[in-house]
Amino acid sequence: MTVDTETAQARTQKLEGLGTKRKRVEDARFTQGKGNYVDDIKLPGMLFGDFVRSPYGHARIKSINKDAALKVPGVKAVLTAADLKPLKLHYMPTLAGDVQAVLADEKVLFQGQEVAFVVAEDRYSAADAVDLVEVEYQELPALVDPTKAMAPGAPELRDDLKGKTSGAHGPRKHHNHIFTWETGDAAATDKALKSAQVVAKEYIVYQRVHPCPLETCGCVASMDKINGHLTVWGTFQAPHAVRTVASLISGIPEHKIRIISPDIGGGFGNKVGVYPGYICSIVASIVTGVPVKWIEDRMENLQATAFARDYHMTGEIAATKDGRITGLRCHVLADHGAFDACADPTKYPAGFFNICTGSYDIPAAHVTVDGVYTNKAPGGVAYRCSFRVTEASYFIERMVDVLARKLNMDPAELRRKNFIRKEQFPYTSALGWEYDSGDYHTALDKALKAVDYPGLRSEQKRNREAFARGETRKLMGIGVSFFTEIVGAGPIKNCDILGLGMFDSCEIRVHPTGSAIARLGTISQGQGHATTFAQILATEIGIPASNITVEEGDTDTAPYGLGTYGSRSTPVAGAATAMAGRKIRAKAQMIAAYLLEVHDDDLEWDIDRFRVKGAPERFKTMAEIAFSAYNKVPPGMEPGLEAVSYYDPPNMTYPFGAYVCVVDVDVDTGITEVRRFYALDDCGTRINPMIIEGQVHGGLTEALAIAMGQEMAYDELGNLKNASLLDFFLPTAVETPAWETDYTTTPSPHHPIGAKGVGESPNVGGVSAFSNAVNDAFAHAGLTHTQMPHDHWRVWKTAERLKLTAAA
């Protein structure tokens, strides 16, 4: 028997399990420049693909002349729709039940649309040839406003859908209409609004933005013609789904396709979709027999792959005079661009927008969403949020503030009054979601106390008096937001993508010497899965995290999973990891019992071992058990120590948080300075506080960008006016304030370890906190709502409208 002198505390520490601030195992390679991103991949004979793209928002293609391009030394091929048609690859299915042109077929529908694919020996000759492909266009009137797109006489955008009166999500009521999605009780909501003592109404636009990860999208496709195997390395947030889609599109059997996501330089939803670049690279590799690489440049990334938001929301909220919310109605005009390529679970064409009753106990609610085609890029991805959840959260958090103005109530007080109470969980909302757990009052109270909310309000009062006296030109604004997310898609009963249930998976192999490898169906894009999933497992199976390798992203080795987006990794794959770990532990218990010659039930788990109840000096460590698993197992038991879990969660998880933002708005310049930002997050059980804090910092910074300056600005012709990082607002370290973080812990009752997911919360809660703060700065002057982004000129225009500006 092993002599053991280590204390329980020392053994726990050695595991670096749940709750520890474990340093990241990924960092060694990244800090030494040894990451392996897709553009780092270099294969023998590899060619390079580059697109000819439409300069117009809407135009008919009259002719394409490749002759000059084909004469450029090094150019191997120039593919157009005409080349793909015989293969039936000129259109591809989208995740939303529509089709998208791989290469433009007679018409271009958005600026930057793929028209031809040049394949050359290197990126320089490819670029030269792109320049020489002559495309003759006939410009057509462009539609960039979804309201105008739905006007009776609006130009018809999609020739390929001519005459189709229904689509994947039901009837189409106009030639540019995609779907109507409706949920909730229309009659009850109507009644609540009609009988209400107070109704507040507002038109709220969440502008089109872009996830804009620092690494753009790209891939390397390599067709091995001899054995018929296709390997594709790429920026894929869902590699297994890509394999299935690639097989369905190409006809190559799925077992002969291998998809590998190498290191990914940020995703944020941008890398969920399947893009024409992937298809063209695969086709080009099949045609040429050599690997083909395609990497977007930044302009292409902003113009063509995966926008987010563009929700035009009309809301009505009903309440009693003393501030009890009685009903909520929302209609959304959703601009999906030229093709419906939203990445949503099949049954949810508007994602989980119906989480829009937020953190409040609202008895009646009704939502309708109309999806519309325009001459803008397709996408509609969940940019650092679960599907359409940031739109929903922004909507309700603005509406509550709008109502507070109308009731002349403090917005924090109005929230407290309407919160779902702790004892109401699990709580079923009027729009049908079952919230798993929450303690909203405790969280908000902690936040308000931390920032001295009453003190801030008195300071604001003094600031407004000083402003009125002409002593300052700055107005103080205080934004409170209280969000509830719905993440971790999701139960197969609700959620699938292309018919694939949204479970996730983990497979564990414990090696004889007591170390292990875990493989998952997800893929990290910076979240640190290799660090945190090892922590979950360390606590479950008592093997130090440093002895556990976590692998993801290779479809030949990892179990099938639906990937990483919508904060689903921890709720779903994290659960699968715990469950697989528990299978390992169950088998380990039987082996330990056999070795210790006691009954299974006589053993208890103790950090990293099984010990005999009442005789703690008799134990077998996990390392000892692992070795025995390979040479001395109970009679009739299979050797080895491996397990796999495919986890179908019983419910989503519902992280929440209370954010407070304090700003100072200079009415002369329109510049808003963030003086203070306090973020309290409750993501259930906390796996690694260091990583949680990092996720919150990052999400808040993305929220800052969206609220304060980001917008994909199209002109009337459909030109994207800010397709570079000069004009598309990404804040630097100078514009980014220091963030304060805090937490409460309300575990999820249905998740094996109680974790809920956190990566997207700060983006969801952050945007409304910033926007509420800017709106609040002008509340005393009569403002109820002003649209984002709150950039300098819009803020100044608001001040001007409220007659707060002065001559320069």
Partner 1 sequence: MSKMHLKLKVNNRDVETLTEPRTLLIHVLREQLGLTGPHIGCDTSHCGACTVDMNGRSVKSCTVLAAQADGATLLTIEGMASPDGTLHALQESFRTHHGLQCGFCTPGMITRAYRLLQENPNPTEAEIRFGISGNLCRCTGYQNIVKAIRAAADTLASVKEAAE
Partner 2 sequence: MIPASFEYHRPRSVQEALALLATHGDGARVVAGGHSLVPMMKLRMARPDHLVDLQELAELRQIRSETGYLVIGAMTTQHELIGSELLAAKCPILRETSLLIADPQVRYCGTLGGNVANGDPGNDMPAVMMVLAASYRIAGAGGERQVAARDFYRGTFATALQEGEILTEIRIPVLAAGHGYAYEKQKRKVGDYATAAAAVVLSRTGGKCTAASVALTNVADTPLFAADAGAALVGTALDAKAIAQAVRLAQKIARPSPDGRGPADFRTHVAGVMVRRAIERAAGRAA
Token pair for residue 199?
């109704």
Q: Which does 131 bind (CB under 5 to 8 A by kind): partner 2, partner 1, none?
A: partner 2
Q: Which does 722 bind (CB under 5 to 8 A by kind): partner 2, partner 1, none?
A: partner 2
Q: Does 738 bind partner 2 (CB under 8 A)?
A: no
Q: Which is nearer to partner 2, 537 or 703 (CB)?
A: 703
Provide Rg for the chain, Cα atoms: 28
- 197: annotated active-site residue: no
Q: Which does 668 bind (CB under 5 to 8 A by kind): partner 1, partner 2, none?
A: partner 2
**Which strands make up the sheet holding 75-80, listed edge to edge?**
75-80, 114-120, 47-53, 292-295, 218-224, 229-234, 257-260
Closest CA to 293 of 305, 302, 303, 280: 280
Determine the residue type at 98.
Answer: D
Q: Which does 24 bind (CB under 5 to 8 A by kind): partner 1, partner 2, none?
A: partner 1
Q: Which does 583 bind (CB under 5 to 8 A by kind): partner 2, partner 1, none?
A: none
- From 100, 207, 237, 460, the catalytic residue: 237
Q: Which is nearer to partner 2, 610 or 729 (CB)?
A: 729
- 237: annotated active-site residue: yes
Residue 493 and residue 455 in contact, taking contact as beta carbons nearer than 8 Å:
no
Q: Does 793 bind partner 2 (CB under 8 A)?
A: yes
Q: Does 727 bind partner 2 (CB under 8 A)?
A: yes
The secondary element (H helix, E strand) that includes residue 705 is helix 689-708
Closest CA to 298 of 221, 214, 414, 240: 214
Q: Which stretch binds partner 2 (CB under 8 A): 15-23, 258-266, 307-315, 786-794?
A: 786-794
Q: Which does 450 bind (CB under 5 to 8 A by kind): partner 2, partner 1, none?
A: none
- 217: annotated active-site residue: no
Q: Which is nearer to partner 2, 452 or 715 (CB)?
A: 715
Distance between CA atoms of residues 487 and 512, nearest Å: 37
Helices 529-541 and 575-596, interaxial angle, to 10°?
30
Q: How far is the CB of 41 from partner 1 (least distance, A)?
A: 9
Q: Which stretch binds partner 1 (CB under 8 A): 277-285, 294-302, 415-423, 457-465?
A: 294-302
Q: Which stretch binds partner 2 (CB under 8 A): 189-197, 234-242, 664-672, 758-766?
A: 664-672
Q: Which does 739 bind (CB under 5 to 8 A by kind): partner 1, partner 2, none?
A: partner 1
Q: Which stretch binds partner 2 (CB under 8 A): 287-295, 676-684, 767-775, 792-800?
A: 792-800
Q: Which stretch binds partner 2 (CB under 8 A): 123-131, 306-314, 405-413, 504-512?
A: 123-131
Q: Which is nearer to partner 1, 608 or 702 (CB)?
A: 702
Which residues on adjacent β-strands are paired with residue 516? 510, 548
- 388: annotated active-site residue: no
Assign residue 718 a region (left: φ > 0; alpha: ψ between -120 and 50; beta: otherwise): left
Q: Does 269 bind partner 1 (CB under 8 A)?
A: no
Distance between CA atoms of residues 341 and 497, nearest Å: 12
Q: Which is nearer to partner 1, 359 or 535 (CB)?
A: 535
Closest CA to 695 of 766, 745, 758, 768: 758
Closest CA to 126 of 285, 279, 295: 295
Q: Which is nearer to partner 2, 521 or 698 (CB)?
A: 698
Q: Does 124 bind partner 2 (CB under 8 A)?
A: yes
Q: Using the rule CB under 8 A, which residue among 121, 139, 297, 742 binds partner 2? A: 297
Determine the residue type at 658.
Answer: A
Here's the x/- map for partner 2, 702-721, by CB under 8 A: it reads as -------x---x-------x
Q: Does 740 bind partner 2 (CB under 8 A)?
A: no
Distance between CA atoms of residues 603 and 229, nearest Å: 49
Token pair for residue 311?
């929700």
Q: Does 49 bind partner 2 (CB under 8 A)?
A: no
* DSSP string covering 436-469: ----HHHHHHHHHHHTTHHHHHHHHHHHHHHHHT
Q: Which is nearer to partner 1, 212 or 338 (CB)?
A: 212
Q: Does 697 bind partner 1 (CB under 8 A)?
A: yes
Q: Does 265 bind partner 1 (CB under 8 A)?
A: yes
- From 53, 158, 172, 384, the catalytic residue: 384
Q: How far is the CB of 722 from partner 2 (least distance, A)?
A: 5
Token pair for residue 798?
């608001």
* DSSP string covering 25-37: TTHHHHHTT---B
Token pair for residue 278?
């992937």
Residue 641 and residue 585 in contact, taking contact as beta carbons nearer than 8 Å:
no
Residue given tokens 């006691």 in the structure block: 598
Residue 102 and residue 108 in contact, taking contact as beta carbons nearer than 8 Å:
no
* DSSP string covering 324-357: -EEEEEEEEEEEEESS------TT-TTTTGGGTT
Return the residues of window 16-45 that contact partner 1 according to CB under 8 A.
23-24, 26-35, 37, 39-40, 42
Give the sign of the dihedral formed by CA 528, CA 529, CA 531, CA 535: positive
Burial class for 515, CB neighbours closer than 10 Å (0-12, 13-18, 19+): middle
Here's the x/- map for partner 1, 431-460, by CB under 8 A: it reads as ------------------------------
Q: Which does 159 bind (CB under 5 to 8 A by kind): partner 1, partner 2, none?
A: none
- From 391, 397, 702, 760, the catalytic residue: 760
Token pair for residue 500?
């694939």
Q: Which is nearer to partner 1, 738 or 808 (CB)?
A: 738
CA distances (Å), origin 168, targets 96, 147, 373, 589: 8, 22, 14, 50
- From 212, 217, 330, 385, the catalytic residue: 385
In 269-423 the beta strands, taken as DSSP E runs, fall at 292-295, 308-319, 325-337, 365-373
* Three state DSSP letters for 258-273: EEECCECCCCCCCCCC
Instruction: Find the angle CA(322)-CA(328)-CA(333) to the nearest 5 degrees.
Output: 145
Q: Does 731 bind partner 2 (CB under 8 A)?
A: yes
Count of residues engaged in binding partner 1, rule: CB under 8 A: 56
Q: How far is the CB of 214 from partner 1 (least distance, A)?
A: 5
Q: Does 668 bind partner 2 (CB under 8 A)?
A: yes
Q: Does 406 bind partner 1 (CB under 8 A)?
A: no
Q: How far is the CB of 671 from partner 2 (least distance, A)?
A: 7
Binding residues for partner 1, rule: CB under 8 A, are 23-24, 26-35, 37, 39-40, 42, 123-124, 212-216, 263-266, 268, 297-299, 525-528, 690-691, 693-695, 697-702, 724-726, 730, 732-734, 736, 738-739
Please identify every residue annotated as catalytic: 237, 384-385, 760
Binding residues for partner 2, rule: CB under 8 A, are 123-124, 127-128, 131, 297, 299, 668-671, 709, 713, 721-722, 726-727, 729-732, 734-735, 791-793, 796-797, 805, 807-808
